[in-house]
Amino acid sequence: MADDRLLMRALAGETLPVPPVWMMRQAGRYLPEYRATRAQAGDFLSLCYTPELAAEVTLQPIRRYGFDAAILFADILLVPQALGADLWFVTGEGPRLSTVTGPGDFKALKPAGAIHDRLGPIYETVRLLRRDLPAEVPLIGFAGAPWTVATYMIAGRGTPDQGPAHALKSSDRATFTALIDRLTEATTEYLLAQIAAGAEVVKLFDSWAGSLKGDDFDDFALAPAKRIIAALKAAHPDVPAIAFPRQGGAKLDGFAAATGADCLALDTEVDTDWAARVLQPQSCVQGNLDPQLLVEGGQRLIDETRRIRDAFSGGPHIFNLGHGITPDADPAHVDVMLKALRG
């Protein structure tokens, strides 16, 4: 039986009069109710690993805004932690990890199949959400793509240019490639477990894909995504996959077909006219409002929301941001966006 929920219809390739809408990082620091729950948890990792609280923050934007999808609240760096990396968060600065910079560090990592004990609470969050979400709201599971996660594992933190990962790729390609392979295997395991727990769609976030050039993009962004999606489809052919190779530029052309993704998420730099002409005939597209407009508000937010909606009105489209909503966004501006989108 066909799934008549708006998100699932768009992912199946249907052109809709008004696109379904959700937002990257829709459960987050811009919401006062999130901040209250985060304070209750005590720290960010405790929030991720406490299923009742993680489910609560996932549900908060659904209650407030009536989005057409919920996305699991977790973090892309839980996978390296489950592989044995030390992980902690520094207030005001972000994540820190123990590093993988050579063969010895890599050998200390656990096998991909050993991640589930650590990640059990995440799967329980998925189960709680499937119980508590409104029937019309699909649940999106997610993971970080291997390249993006590797950049954090190699540097021990986020970096502006992913320089340490590029350096290891050049100086010790064997260790670098082994790390990408391990993360590809672990990410597949993680997403399969999310689906088994109840995730109905999966998304692969490759936030730093744009810093890979030429063959490196094909080898370390496209190829791992293809492997992951193929494994997911082999086990669950009816579960759609969304790929987000951020700042992939011209490399986005053909990415969905090459990887098997049902939908291609677009960052803010992607020209909507080009995407509608070149990418949308290949797959559903998702995006790509500038998150800064949810800080700014006003007529420009209304105009851009309508412009993006209209630009993609000729094919399957999921309205979203071109990157995650920022902590300084005004929650009232989200209502303005939704009113402009839905008319």
Q: Which domains does the chain have, with CATH numbers?
A: 6-342 (3.20.20.210)
Give pLDDT, residue 135: 96
* E strand or H helix that includes residue 265: strand 263-265
Are the beta carbons of 35 and 28 closer than 8 angstroms? no
Q: For strand 87-90 and strand 94-97, is the pairing parallel, antiparallel, or unpaired?
A: antiparallel
Give pLDDT, residue 240: 98
- SS3 state at 278: helix
Parts of the chain with a pLDDT under 50 = none
* E strand or H helix that includes residue 320: strand 317-321
Residue with tokens 């973090």, as numbered in its chain: 75
Give pLDDT, residue 99: 98
Q: Is 277 a catalytic residue?
A: no
Q: Is 152 a catalytic residue?
A: yes
Give pLDDT, residue 33: 98
Catalytic position from the list 30, 34, 38, 65: 38
- Residue 112 per-residue DSSP state: G
Q: Is 5 a catalytic residue?
A: no
Side chain identity at residue 168, one-letter code: L
- How many residues belong to the chain? 343
Strand partners, 284: 263
Sheet holding 241-245, edge to edge: 70-71, 139-144, 201-206, 241-245, 263-265, 284-289, 317-321
Catalytic position from the list 9, 152, 246, 267: 152
Residue with tokens 């919401």, as numbered in its chain: 31
Catalytic position from the list 9, 25, 182, 227: 25
- Kindly report the pTM of this predicted structure: 0.98
Catalytic position from the list 3, 5, 29, 35: 29
- CA–CA separation, 108 and 1 (whole Å): 47
Catalytic position from the list 30, 49, 68, 75: 75
Q: Is 38 a catalytic residue?
A: yes
Q: Is 29 a catalytic residue?
A: yes
